[in-house]
Amino acid sequence: MLNAHHPIRRQQGVALILAVIVLVAMSLAAIGLMRGVLTGNRVAANLAFQQSARQSSETGAETAIAWLEQKSRELLTAGQTTRANKLFQNITAGAGGETYNYVAHREDPDSTANQTWDDFWTNFLVPNGMANTLAVDGAGNTVSFVIHRLCNAVGDPSTGINCEASPNAPPSNQPNRSTGQGGGVKPADPQVYYRITVRVAGPRNAISFTQVVVAI
């Protein structure tokens, strides 16, 4: 009788081992599935933050463009024959009631040292008072922007300081797009290009850079 029970005990032991193996395999599969889901959620969240940062960058670009257009309207008066534009010179926020910092000449990262825009922003633009920072938006993004006039130096573009400008100017008897006023308000000069660089710092260390070039 005892010998007859030995095969049953062996079968019960094998079944127990198989059950443990299956349980371990299922546990590992569940852990892998959970890790995959968590990783997917993390990637999706990071993409959402990056998309939010890009959308917030539009606010910085639109703010800068609106300021440039407003400044052009303020500084061009009816009947003038020569341009007396403050945008020929650097502007410091707070000086004379000015709202934003403005750079009347081009500044770029050091390409010979492989300097990134983020390093250039942190170590040069911000310390030299060129950046403008808006209030944190509802998505938790901090939007900053810098306006560079694409000229090699400050001053009137007509003095040969090598500005990037449109080759054609609107006829003097036609309304000017910048001022919205009739002919004679602004001499028929080529429109100068301005580069707006927007940096957005968001949650989870999301950093986004956007550049817009406008002709005014």
Rounded to whole angstroms, how far apart are CA atoms 4 and 6? 6
Binning pLDDT at 50, 70 and 90, where does residue 25 land? Answer: confident
What are 39-70's pLDDT values in tens digits?
655 555 555 555 666 677 888 999 999 999 88
Rounded to whole angstroms, how far apart are CA atoms 87 and 154? 9
Q: Average pLDDT of the chain?
A: 77
42-74: b (≥16 Cβ within 10 Å) or e: eeeeeeebbebbbebbebbbebbbebbbebbee
Residues 76, 80, 81, 86: is their CA dihedral positive or negative? negative
Domain boundaries, position 36: 2-215
Threshold 0.95, pTM exceeds:
no
Rounded to whole angstroms, how far apart are CA atoms 149 and 213? 10
Domain count, the chain: 1
What are 93-137's pLDDT values in tens digits?
988 888 999 999 999 999 898 999 999 999 999 999 999 999 988
